[in-house]
Structure 1
Amino acid sequence: MTDVNPKRLQKVHSSKDDDDDEKCQTYVITGEDHTLAGALNLMLHKNPDVRSAGYSIPHPLENKLMLQIAVRQKAKTTSDEVFKKALNDLNNQCQHILKTFEVACEMYKEKAGVNYSEDERMDVS
């Protein structure tokens, strides 16, 4: 499992909810939109320790999203750990999709007899 780059997390700020509990927090992520939020929300809902998760974008002109995570009280984890796991799971899934796509492209090229030079290849990294 690959870890999330700490520099990327500088755009994430968290605030504990009223009860000052580590099992329920709201994260404010700047510079992201529904694309990341929807995917993270899906990953969070797959985790059995998550009681609820949801996101909102306060205003279309504000460049931020708010993601709220509540972990089950009996779970032996915190909302921070669940959030990091969701980010890592999403990253791993994206890497798998990219590798599968690249393999399929290479198989197609071999079957079709296409031979692209390195200069003509699309860089998706």
Structure 2
Amino acid sequence: MSVNEVKIKRAPTDFELRGTGPDTSRTFVLGDEDHTLGNALRHVLINDARVDFAGYCVPHPSEPVVHIRVQTNTNSKPNDYEEEEKDGLQHLSAIEALKDACTTLSDQCDLVLAKLEEALPEVREDRERMEQLEEEEAEEGADNY
């Protein structure tokens, strides 16, 4: 290892849920992630009308975690159907909001990849080759145990 190489330690946990009280306000800690995922999820969350606040931070550059804070609308109550119909908003927990944002972001990435592969067929070929190599490595790793 050269002087210029930096080995980033792995996060102690992949996912942690923080926060008590109403289910509309939570902080999520995602391990082995950084600004790339944090900012993308924040952007998707903030564009959801049911979300009042979404933010993220990376506590320290040497820590491989990102904290994502989500607060959803507290105007609507789970059993208050009149309010839901009036505002067009449904009760949404912070966990549900994050799940929806992850699904939306994944769908957007799939769309971009499909368009890219359509425009540049060599991208599809490269992806298929990489998937094949990963499968072969996984099989070799399983054979070694």
**TM bin (shorter chain):** 0.7 to 0.9
Structure 1 alignment gaps of length 5 or more: 1-9, 110-117
Q: TM-score, normalising length from structure 1?
A: 0.75
Alignment of 1:1-125 (within 5 A): 11-17=14-20, 20-75=21-76, 76-106=91-121, 121-123=125-127
Tell me, in whole angstroms, the C-alpha distance in 1 between the residues paired with 2:30 and 2:40: 14
Structure 2 unaligned residues grouped into runs of 5+: 1-12, 77-90, 132-145
Distance 1:102 1:29 in 2: 30
How far apart are the structure 1 equivalents of 2:14 and 2:51? 23
Give the match's secondary structure for 2:17.
strand
Greater C-alpha radius of gyration: 2
Structure 1 residue 67 displacement after superposition: 0.5
What secondary structure sits across from 1:122 in the alignment? helix
What letter corresponds to residue 107 of structure 2 in structure 1?
N
CA deviation profile, 1:57-110 (whole Å, cap 9, x unmatched): 11111110111000010241100000000000000000000000011113xx8x
- The root-mean-square deviation of aligned C-alpha atoms, in Å, is 1.9
Provide the C-alpha distance between the structure 2 equivalents of 1:52 and 1:68, rounded to a whole number of angstroms.
8
Aligned length: 102
In 2, distance between residues paired with 1:53 and 1:87?
13
Deviations 1:19-60 (A, max 9, x none): x11000000000000000110000001100000010111111
